Chains A and B, each alone.
Chain A
Amino acid sequence: MSIIEARGLSKSFMQAVKEPGLAGAVKHLFIPKHIEKIAVQPLNLSVEAGETVAYVGPNGAGKSTTIKMLTGILMPSAGSISVNGINPYKKRMENAAQIGAVFGQRTQLWWDIPIVESFSLLKDIYQIPEPVYKANLDQFTELLGMNEFIHLSARKLSLGQRMRADLAAALLHNPPILYLDEPTIGLDVSVKQKIREFIKKINQEQQTTVMLTTHDLGDIEDLCKRLIIIDHGSIIYDGSLSEVKSRFARNRVIFFQVGVPMPELYNLLSQTPGMKLDRQNEQEFSVSFDRYEYTASEVVSRVMKHGEVIDFRMEDANIEQVIKAVYDGNLDLNQKGE
């Protein structure tokens, strides 16, 4: 059985509808009106041990809601969940011992005591054996570069420092499963890089199963082999990242810089079906084409026939464009993995 297994999992919230103004508030007091908001439609999900899964979708798609149900802090409206054989909602404490979780918006560190003290409290809470704790603390401190702030209290940390400390805190007890809800939100490039390297290493060394939500496509490309896209509470894609790229990112672009303007080439290219010419100026232009119709070398050799090419570079299938197209509703992904 998969380490994370959800069947027909769904969640709806009651949202209060208040009319604006004081009159609305008073009216709501006497005749409360609620509408049912379906945050997650019945969905199935299986994650195997050791997988890294990116769970993405536009704002309000239901990502955090799903993660909260998997961690046991939100009760599903319907459906079943089993995480390592445990129902996270019914056996919250048991489940808590085997998972690590980081909610980017929230910290689990104590505000006013040094980070190391928060860590050693976790050691007692999770009953981590001393040698394991020591080894993890040393390794995490080094990998995440926490030396400079581990003696400060959480209140004094910058966002990036706090996030690193939170990530370490979530992993001190070597949980087999790690949930990350927007772990890189608001971080600079180098901290993001550190965090990604760290997660990757933990996943490889300890076979930790990682499920992460993010709006940062770099996270996905760096970390995850599997991609699940959710929109309006339903899973619209579940498959490998490379597959989604090859299936949906058909467009390739080559940028050229040439020695002399080539009017006849421009004419020719504009008339070729399946190619699109985009001219920046006299000597710089780009050609986009369908990678299933033409190969890159075909395109390049066509241009070279007309004259000297000083420089060219190719932009490959970009997950960003694919996901954007899905969000915008321009791309219809077949339902998969049901």
Chain B
Amino acid sequence: MPVVKLKKYRSIANRSLQNVLSYRFSYVVTFLSNAINLLAVYFLWAGIYGGRETVGGYTWDQMKTYLLVTFLANSVLSWYSETAISGKILDGSVAVDLLKPIDFQTARFSETLGTSLLEGGISTIILVIFSFFISGLALPHSALVYVLFALSLLGAIAVKFGVVYLAALLCFWSTGSMGIVWTRIALTNLLSGALVPLAFFPGWLERTALLLPFQSIIHTPTMIFLEQAGTLESLKLIGIQCFWGAALWIAGKFMWNWAVRQVTIHGG
């Protein structure tokens, strides 16, 4: 894409960041509740591990790390981005976007990146605070792992955006969209490994989950950070993320073309 074109979208990302900054208060509340949630999950797992060496192949130290990484990966594209896209469709303001010389999907992705920057930043702070109080985290020692991890987080954003975007566009088809949003969240949480590591699943479910895009969102970054995947394996996992990111992006394009037809035929 030529530079001038990119500038449009960089600008959109910037404004989106400004926009969420104006919701400072609700952000504080959201992150407080996230932190409390994290604490709850932490103690839940502490209880499960009580006296046990490993659960499903994870040591307690690994599990603690898993929880923190999950928290980070989950927060970079959260509730706000989610509701912003489906909200546009539900309240009909998508017509305003149709009047602009911008690509809807790229614009939404830029907005998401803008907010992810903030959300990622805040969760990192929470995580650093947390890690002061928790001992024995399984932190990787090689810089390469951190680089791969950062890449996998970007991949996770791309894949999660793809899933969120497709789900949001489904709202064109059914106006009672909160159902779609909730279903999507439940599916993503379960199949990405956000609830429990995929390794805890029965064999058939784990195999299925690994074939689906959702695992790229949580499973992949945790595998890399916990060094459960070697360098080559990590690169392969990131490759899979790229594949899903691209596939979902293209699916999003098709779906958008369909959605635009709905709007322009039936009226926004």
Chain B 2-26 against A: per-residue CB contact (8 Å), 1 yes, 0 no?
A: 0010011011101100110011000
Name the interface residues of A8-32: CB closer than 8 Å to any CB of B. 13-14
- How many angstroms from the CA of A92 to the CA of B93 in the assembled complex? 16
Q: How far is the CB of B127 from chain A (nearest CB, A)?
A: 27
A113 touches B268 (CB 8 A): no
Q: Does A121 count as interface, using CB distance less than 8 angstroms? A: yes
B264 touches A125 (CB 8 A): no
- How many angstroms from the CA of A174 to the CA of B101 in the assembled complex? 14
B23 touches A112 (CB 8 A): yes
Chain A 173-191 against B: per-residue CB contact (8 Å), 1 yes, 0 no?
A: 0000000000000000000
- Which listed residue, B18, B93, B261, B268, touches A117 by the CB 8 Å rule? B18
Name the interface residues of B102-116: CB closer than 8 Å to any CB of A. 102-103
Q: How far is the CB of A202 from chain B (nearest CB, A)?
A: 18
Q: Does B99 count as interface, using CB distance less than 8 angstroms? A: yes
Q: Does A260 count as interface, using CB distance less than 8 angstroms? A: no
Residues of B within 8 A of A93 (CB): 101-103
B266 touches A13 (CB 8 A): yes
Tell me which of A13, A71, A73 has the highest count of chain B C-beta atoms within 10 A of its own C-beta: A73
Q: How far is the CB of B105 from chain A (nearest CB, A)?
A: 13
- How many angstroms from the CA of A14 to the CA of B268 in the assembled complex? 13
Interface residues on chain A, number (Cβ under 8 Å): 34
Q: How far is the CB of B24 from chain A (nearest CB, A)?
A: 11
Contact A14 B266, CB 8 Å, known A113-B19, A125-B11: yes
Chain A 70-108 against B: per-residue CB contact (8 Å), 1 yes, 0 no?
A: 011111000000000000010011101101010100111
Q: Does B100 count as interface, using CB distance less than 8 angstroms? A: yes
Residues of B within 8 A of A112 (CB): 18-19, 22-23
Which residue from chain B places its CB closest to the CB of A170 in the assembled complex? B99
Chain A 246-270 against B: per-residue CB contact (8 Å), 1 yes, 0 no?
A: 0000000000000000000000000
- Which listed residue, B12, B19, B99, B264, touches A101 by the CB 8 Å rule? B99
Q: Does B128 count as interface, using CB distance less than 8 angstroms? A: no
Q: Does B125 count as interface, using CB distance less than 8 angstroms? A: no
Q: Does A294 count as interface, using CB distance less than 8 angstroms? A: no
Residues of A within 8 A of B11 (CB): 120-121, 124-125
Q: Does A206 count as interface, using CB distance less than 8 angstroms? A: no
- How many angstroms from the CA of A108 to the CA of B99 in the assembled complex? 9
A96 touches B19 (CB 8 A): no
Q: Does B136 count as interface, using CB distance less than 8 angstroms? A: no
B15 touches A113 (CB 8 A): yes
Q: Does B263 count as interface, using CB distance less than 8 angstroms? A: yes
Q: Does A271 count as interface, using CB distance less than 8 angstroms? A: no
Chain B 59-101 against A: per-residue CB contact (8 Å), 1 yes, 0 no?
A: 0000000000000000000000000000000001101101111
Q: How far is the CB of B18 from chain A (nearest CB, A)?
A: 5
Residues of A within 8 A of B95 (CB): 68, 73, 103, 106
Contact A68 B8, CB 8 Å, known A73-B99, A96-B99, A121-B15: no
Residues of A within 8 A of B (CB): 13-14, 65, 68, 71-75, 89, 92-94, 96-97, 99, 101, 103, 106-108, 110-113, 117-118, 120-121, 124-127, 153
19 new A-B pairs (CB below 8 Å) besides A74-B267, A127-B8? A65-B267, A71-B99, A72-B98, A73-B99, A74-B264, A74-B268, A75-B265, A92-B98, A93-B102, A101-B99, A112-B23, A113-B18, A117-B15, A117-B18, A121-B11, A124-B11, A125-B8, A125-B12, A126-B101
Show 21 residue pairs from A and B whose CB-CB distance is below 8 angstroms, ordered by the A residue. A13-B266, A14-B266, A65-B267, A68-B95, A68-B268, A73-B95, A73-B263, A75-B265, A93-B101, A93-B102, A94-B101, A96-B100, A97-B101, A99-B99, A108-B96, A111-B19, A120-B11, A121-B11, A121-B15, A124-B11, A127-B4
